[in-house]
């Protein structure tokens, strides 16, 4: 049946941005779209569009909560049944002018519980209400009112260092607060890591629908795990939407930041691409430099002798022709693991040098495009895109860090698991990995890690990596490298692997936060010396001796578990701006975390993290660990726990001077 309905005018300006764009598509178009949608998210949207709660109170319910299982494990016949019943409901919504029903908070909480498989406990419920933004407003937008005078604001400039994901966010919040600010960025454009990492195959490995700002639409991603160009375009778009470009100084490096106690200001030295140096002054500094942006090149004898192109994965040369080449890929963590399958069919020979095998979990939609019907639903069905975000985010947050905890009672004769749960995980992952390597015992032996599952940053795949290892012209080398020579790589057993190009996908200097800037605080204290190999910050944000300095993505905040770093950034940006508010409303000049508060937090964090799998002694090479094998980079807290910790600045934790 083909029919068209009249669309009633809807006030676009006042329309909730999550209510979906009104539509007049015919029934066939809608029916076709329904074939592509996530049915659990659809069921919630159907409640919004019909006002009928029976959609989520019936027998069709998600069976599993898994980030990459967007059908929630619902059997095919039930999916088909919902799709069939949904069509007339959506058509009626269309014919009625696409006005969704207003649902109260209790009801929305029931819908979250429906997708989650049970009521949200503790801070999860308020945190998700904040994230879902059902009323269409940015729930973390800064609104200071009149309590800070225009003069006080004008006299309180802020320097943001870095224009990646967190620097852009900091800029948005500072603009809302009405503070003057400048964003200094070493690259020529926004996006940080997504500006720099242009290697073939670079894509996000946290679902796109949660790897984005909560207050920006998430209905446009072309893939569930989108690729670098799309993310880079996203950051550019957000930067321009919020008119941040005039605040940005691209192509400019911060070389040092020094606190001046006499003036209560930071003096920030910058250098532009032409080598011109300048001293900027600000009252506050936000470091938004990221922590995976300093390439770590290995120290292998002979690297300078190599005759062909060689480069770090984050410095992939534009226009590099790899066709038919003998390509040596050194390092196969998150970056190398994406490069290999992407280039395997373009090069003549691919030799992958992997020092440590990596755990991989299956993700069938890792390379999947968002089908047109799902995109249609995200654009038009009320709150559908929001529920999809919830569906893809909640499961990771819900499990928190418990599955990663070492069980002191658990005895594993082989030392390869930390708990019964972890042992089961090892079995599951091993079975999936070996299923892709059937008939290749050599590859199975090389690929199944000897250390506990999830002990390093776990990778995910639809099988592309393991399948590419099977190709006749691809070789996985697990023997150590002895030296680089003019025409290749020689391993410690004396084998010479000829190569025309070498890519070092050897990771980043993750433990060296804020490097290489020289940051000097009160009484000339050097941040680098204060930290040494053990970087710590209260809540990952503030450090004693460094007043009015706030880190985003600072020590102890990287996530090897749970949801996307966007969640952390949003909490940290709000916290930093809150702290500025505390200064400006108290008449103080500066805010500095109390040493005892910081030290107690740092000890608590260390106690926690040392009980989690990433600190397991069997893991000898890990960018999470410092040279002594301790972990200072990662958060041991569940996201909702961290949300609660950072929700408001407790001025008792600080000296206001």
Beta carbons of 445 and 469 less than 8 angstroms apart: no
Q: Is 279 exposed, middle or buried (0-12, 13-18, 19+ CB in 10 A)?
A: exposed
Query: Which one of residues 100, 162, 290, 331 is an interface residue with ligand NAP (CB under 6 A)?
Result: 331
Counting contacts by CB under 6 A, is residue 336 touching ligand NAP? yes
Number of other CB atoms surrounding residue 516 within 10 Å: 12
Q: Which residues pair with 361 in a beta bridge?
A: 460
267/630 with CB nearer ligand NAP: 630
- Minimum CB–partner distance for residue 143 and ligand NAP (Å): 33
Counting contacts by CB under 6 A, is residue 235 touching ligand NAP? no
Helix (H, G, I), strand (E, B) or coil at 177: helix
Counting contacts by CB under 6 A, is residue 209 touching ligand NAP? no
Distances (CA, A) of 317 to 200, 503, 548, 552: 11, 10, 39, 29
Per-residue mark of binding to ligand NAP, 108-127 (x: CB under 6 A): --------------------
DSSP label at residue 542? B
Residues in the chain: 657
Q: Which residues pair with 37 in a beta bridge?
A: none
29/626 with CB nearer ligand NAP: 626
Counting contacts by CB under 6 A, is residue 623 touching ligand NAP? yes
Q: Which residues pair with 326 in a beta bridge?
A: 349
- Minimum CB–partner distance for residue 508 and ligand NAP (Å): 6
Counting contacts by CB under 6 A, is residue 631 touching ligand NAP? no
Counting contacts by CB under 6 A, is residue 70 touching ligand NAP? no
526/620 with CB nearer ligand NAP: 620
Segment contacting ligand NAP by CB under 6 A, of 22-30, 100-108, 200-208, 436-444 = 200-208
| Cα 469 to the center of its chain, rounded Å | 28
140/203 with CB nearer ligand NAP: 203
355/528 with CB nearer ligand NAP: 355
Counting contacts by CB under 6 A, is residue 332 touching ligand NAP? yes
Query: Which one of residues 355, 367, 470, 594 is an interface residue with ligand NAP (CB under 6 A)?
Result: 355
Closest CA to 388 of 656, 29, 166, 62: 62
| Distance (Å, whole) CA 283 – CA 298 | 39
Angle between helices 372-380 and 39-50 (to 10 degrees): 30
Query: Which one of residues 56, 204, 489, 631 is an interface residue with ligand NAP (CB under 6 A)?
Result: 204
| Distance (Å, whole) CA 173 – CA 178 | 9
Size of the site for ligand NAP (CB under 6 A): 25
- Minimum CB–partner distance for residue 117 and ligand NAP (Å): 27
Counting contacts by CB under 6 A, is residue 354 touching ligand NAP? yes
Helices of type H across 264-383: 336-343, 372-380
Q: Which residues pair with 93 in a beta bridge?
A: none
- Minimum CB–partner distance for residue 494 and ligand NAP (Å): 17
Counting contacts by CB under 6 A, is residue 505 touching ligand NAP? yes
| Distance (Å, whole) CA 644 – CA 126 | 10
DSSP label at residue 308? S
Counting contacts by CB under 6 A, is residue 20 touching ligand NAP? no
Counting contacts by CB under 6 A, is residue 559 touching ligand NAP? no
105/496 with CB nearer ligand NAP: 496
259/316 with CB nearer ligand NAP: 316
Interactions with ligand NAP, residue window 280-309 (CB under 6 A): 292, 298
| Distance (Å, whole) CA 383 – CA 389 | 10
CB-side neighbour CA atoms (13 Å) of 388: 28
332/551 with CB nearer ligand NAP: 332
H/E element, 579: helix 565-586
Counting contacts by CB under 6 A, is residue 251 touching ligand NAP? no
Counting contacts by CB under 6 A, is residue 507 touching ligand NAP? yes
- Minimum CB–partner distance for residue 573 and ligand NAP (Å): 20
120/481 with CB nearer ligand NAP: 481
287/293 with CB nearer ligand NAP: 293
Closest CA to 484 of 506, 509, 511: 506
Counting contacts by CB under 6 A, is residue 561 touching ligand NAP? no
| Distance (Å, whole) CA 147 – CA 571 | 22
Q: Which residue has the tokens 């029903």?
A: 101
Structure token digits, residue 121: 């406990």
384/508 with CB nearer ligand NAP: 508
- Minimum CB–partner distance for residue 489 and ligand NAP (Å): 10
By beta carbon distance, the residue nearest ligand NAP is 333
Longest dimension (CA), the chain: 78
- Minimum CB–partner distance for residue 636 and ligand NAP (Å): 17
159/204 with CB nearer ligand NAP: 204
Interactions with ligand NAP, residue window 462-501 (CB under 6 A): 481
Beta carbons of 401 and 612 less than 8 angstroms apart: yes
Structure token digits, residue 35: 């074939």
Interface residues toward ligand NAP, by CB under 6 A: 203-205, 292, 298, 313, 330-336, 338, 354-356, 457, 481, 505-508, 621, 623
């Amino acid at each position: 049946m083909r029919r068209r309905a009249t669309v009633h005018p809807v006030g676009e300006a006042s329309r909730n941005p999550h209510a979906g764009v009104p539509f007049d598509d015919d029934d066939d178009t809608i029916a076709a779209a329904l074939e592509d949608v996530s049915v659990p998210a659809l069921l919630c949207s159907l409640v919004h569009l019909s006002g009928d709660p029976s959609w989520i109170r019936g027998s069709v319910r998600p069976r599993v909560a898994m980030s990459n299982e967007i059908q929630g494990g619902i059997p095919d016949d039930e999916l088909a049944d919902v799709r069939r019943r949904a069509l007339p409901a959506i058509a009626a919504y269309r014919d009625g002018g696409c006005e969704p029903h207003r649902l109260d908070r209790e009801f929305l909480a029931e819908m979250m519980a429906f997708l989650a498989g049970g009521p949200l406990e503790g801070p999860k419920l308020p945190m998700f209400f904040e994230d879902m933004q059902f009323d269409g407003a940015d729930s973390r937008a800064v609104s200071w009112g009149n309590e800070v005078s225009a003069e006080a604001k004008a006299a309180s400039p802020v320097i943001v260092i870095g224009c990646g994901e967190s620097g852009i966010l900091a800029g948005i919040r500072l603009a809302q607060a009405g503070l003057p600010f400048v964003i200094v960025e070493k690259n020529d454009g926004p996006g940080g890591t997504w500006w720099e990492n242009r290697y073939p195959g670079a894509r996000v490995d946290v679902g796109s629908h949660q790897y984005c700002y909560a207050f920006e639409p998430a209905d446009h991603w072309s893939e569930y795990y989108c690729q670098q160009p799309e993310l880079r375009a996203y950051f550019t778009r957000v930067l321009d939407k919020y008119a941040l470009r005039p605040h940005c100084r691209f192509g400019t490096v911060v070389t040092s930041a020094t606190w001046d106690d006499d003036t209560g200001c930071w003096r920030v030295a910058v250098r532009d691409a032409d080598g011109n140096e300048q001293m900027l002054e600000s009252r506050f500094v936000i470091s938004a430099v990221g922590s995976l942006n300093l390439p770590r090149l290995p120290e292998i004898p002979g690297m300078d002798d190599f005759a062909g192109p060689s480069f770090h994965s984050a410095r992939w040369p534009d226009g590099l022709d790899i066709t038919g080449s003998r390509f040596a890929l050194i390092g196969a963590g998150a970056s190398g693991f994406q490069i290999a399958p992407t280039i395997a069919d373009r090069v003549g020979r691919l030799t992958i040098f992997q020092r440590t095998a990596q755990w991989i979990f299956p993700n069938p939609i890792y390379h999947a495009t968002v089908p047109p019907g799902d995109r249609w639903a995200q654009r038009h069905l009320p709150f559908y895109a929001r529920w999809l975000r919830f569906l893809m985010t909640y499961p990771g947050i819900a499990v928190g860090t418990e599955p990663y905890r070492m069980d002191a009672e658990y005895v594993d004769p082989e030392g390869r698991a930390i708990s019964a749960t972890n042992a089961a995980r090892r079995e599951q992952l091993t079975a999936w990995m070996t299923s892709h390597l059937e008939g290749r015992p050599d590859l199975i032996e090389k690929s199944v890690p000897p250390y506990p599952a999830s002990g390093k940053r776990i990778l995910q795949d639809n099988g592309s990596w393991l399948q590419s290892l099977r190709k006749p012209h691809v070789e996985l080398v697990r023997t150590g490298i002895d030296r680089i020579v003019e025409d290749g790589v020689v391993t410690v057993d004396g084998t010479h692997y000829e190569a025309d190009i070498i890519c070092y996908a050897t990771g980043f200097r993750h433990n060296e936060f804020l490097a290489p800037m020289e940051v000097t605080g009160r009484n000339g204290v050097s941040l680098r010396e204060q930290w040494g190999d053990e970087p710590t910050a209260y809540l990952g944000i503030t450090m004693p001796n460094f007043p009015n300095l706030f880190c985003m993505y600072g020590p102890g905040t990287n996530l090897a578990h749970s949801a996307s770093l966007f969640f952390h950034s949003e909490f940290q940006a709000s916290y930093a701006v809150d702290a500025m508010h505390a200064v400006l409303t108290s008449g103080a000049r500066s805010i500095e975390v109390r040493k005892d508060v910081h030290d107690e937090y740092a000890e608590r964090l260390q106690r926690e993290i040392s009980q989690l799998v990433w600190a397991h002694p069997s893991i000898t090479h890990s960018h999470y660990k410092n040279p002594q094998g301790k972990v200072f980079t990662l958060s041991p807290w569940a996201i909702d726990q961290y949300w609660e910790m950072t929700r408001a600045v407790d001025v008792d934790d600080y000296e206001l001077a």
